[in-house]
Structure 1
Amino acid sequence: MASYSGRGVHGQVVHILGTRIVSGSIPVGATLDIRALGEELDVSLTVMRESLKVLASKGLIDARQKRGTFVTERSRWNLLDADIIRWRVDGGGGEQLMRDLADVRSIVEPAAAHRAAVHRTEADLDALQDALDAMGRAQADSTAAAEADAAFHRALLAATGNEMLTRMDMLLEPGLRERDRLVHTHAAADDPVPSHQAVLDAVRERDPARAELAMLDLLAKAAHDLDRITASSKGPVTQSPTSGR
């Protein structure tokens, strides 16, 4: 699920076309004129074909005889792919994605915190503490803060002792990184350390009920931060002379 964007000219073409598709600029069902796109982007047909293979691997496009290369139905897109998540955010679809992520986290992470408090090891505690310490050091560095945040939640899943829960990071982390990219670069966000510290304290003290509640509080704070950032990014609402009734 590694990001493909940024890998030279191929990565640039993949990013441009992926963003257009995910944002709806190139709609579902549209047939791609490969030659015209190559001329527009000033790349060879070889580069175009290689880039389209990447998009096809993500479920965004398909090719059929007599129809050509076309944008597939959204149900076929790999919405957990790191690039698609980034393109959704960059294309203006980030708010709904963040709401969906919050729903998934509310189902998974409180239960994971509960189980981590029961099954954690000293090594798990060390990993959680290291991530929390890194979070505290990275307040002025949004990239490092996002990485530390992701590391904390990854360590918490691992502390459950359940291999399937541990691999839930593959589901959560791409979206979580995009959320953190938004939150940690915004002045409206609060300090994330205390809410994470409360989870770690409960896990360390083997108090599963308190760990679950602490995670619920953390997620509520995360939702509040996102609401504040979303509201501030939209700016003040200007009423027309006939509005406000």
Structure 2
Amino acid sequence: MQQYVARGVHGQTVEVLAQRILTGQLPEGSTLDIGALQTEFDVSLTVLREALRVLAAKGMVDARPKRGTFVRPRGDWSLLDPDVLRWQFSRQVRPGLFADLHEVRSIVEPGAAGLAASRATDDDLAALDDALDAMAAAGNDAGAAVEADLAFHRALLAATHNELLQRMEVLIETGLAERDRMVHRHGPGDPVPAHRAVVGAIRARDALGAAQAMGRLLEQAVADVARLEESPE
């Protein structure tokens, strides 16, 4: 699914409305006062309607005769849509969101590492090595560290040569990017050894070892987030 890119007044309108829905400020089932929103945002009716069309495409709002435009039940939202994921993770609008992400990663990524150990090509291994090199070179550059980590996990899923697993990239990358930005701002430990252990097992065609190494990496990820949650900051 194509990702929505916020631009100008239209983009800001979409972002604000999405955050209000996700945080419950506009609760499920509530009817939107279009006139009041138009006045509040100081936008044209065309801009507001276009913003609502974006949210309607993501299952968050709908419009019906005599009822007007209303917020749909959460069960109808496209929660795996890249933008809906990004909006949730960027503001941590729901407690336990990172815990949910960890559970998904714990199910998917050790298995992916095991598959990669039996299926990875030379090109796949080169992509993993490149990500490790970028991770090592990033140093204290938080932005570069985040990009390197995302490249690693993207390469890992690609190395499974399973198209459905590769589609998990959207969920894992979106949440992982926000987690990484949060962690790297506070000076994490050296991430390279844990990631290198995964690649070493994949290169050795050790499926069990690769899965176990990925499991240890994920345990460290949980510890990093827990450390930040306990921080006075």
The match for 1:193 is: 192
For residue 37 of structure 2, what is the amino acid of its counterpart? L
5 Å-filtered alignment, 1:27-38, equals 27-38=27-38
Is the alpha carbon distance of 1:150 and 1:54 closer, same or farther for their aligned partners in structure 2, counting shifts above 3 Å?
same
2: CA distance, partners of 1:165 / 1:185: 30
1: CA distance, partners of 2:42 / 2:32: 16
User: Residue 134 of structure 2 contacts residue 145 of structure 2 at CA under 8 Å; is this kept in 1?
Assistant: yes
1: CA distance, partners of 2:177 / 2:148: 10
2: CA distance, partners of 1:182 / 1:24: 24
- Matched residue of 1:149: which SS? helix
The match for 1:243 is: none
TM-score (norm 2): 0.93
1: CA distance, partners of 2:70 / 2:127: 45
Say which is worse superposed, 24-33 or 160-169, in terms of deviation: 160-169
TM-score (norm 1): 0.89
The match for 1:80 is: 80
The match for 1:239 is: none
1: CA distance, partners of 2:124 / 2:105: 20
RMSD: 1.7
Is the alpha carbon distance of 1:10 and 1:92 closer, same or farther for their aligned partners in structure 2, counting shifts above 3 Å?
same
Q: Percent identity?
A: 56
5 Å-filtered alignment, 1:1-245, equals 1-93=1-93, 95-187=95-187, 189-232=188-231, 235=232
- Matched residue of 2:152: which SS? helix
1: CA distance, partners of 2:51 / 2:174: 21
Would you identify which runs of 4 or more consecutive aligned residues in structure 1 move more than 4 Å?
none
The superposition leaves residues 36-91 of structure 1 with CA deviations (integer Å, 9 ceiling, x where unpaired) of: 11111111111000000001111111111111101110111111122222322344
For residue 56 of structure 1, what is the amino acid of its counterpart? A
User: Residue 82 of structure 1 contacts residue 175 of structure 1 at CA under 8 Å; is this kept in 2?
Assistant: no
Q: Report the alpha carbon displacement of residue 5 of structure 1 after superposing the two structures with TM.
A: 4.8
For residue 197 of structure 1, what is the amino acid of its counterpart? R
Say which is worse superposed, 137-146 or 43-52, in terms of deviation: 137-146
User: Residue 85 of structure 2 contacts residue 171 of structure 2 at CA under 8 Å; is this kept in 1?
Assistant: no
- Matched residue of 1:70: which SS? strand
1: CA distance, partners of 2:115 / 2:32: 49
1: CA distance, partners of 2:127 / 2:190: 20
Is the alpha carbon distance of 1:94 and 1:197 closer, same or farther for their aligned partners in structure 2, counting shifts above 3 Å?
farther
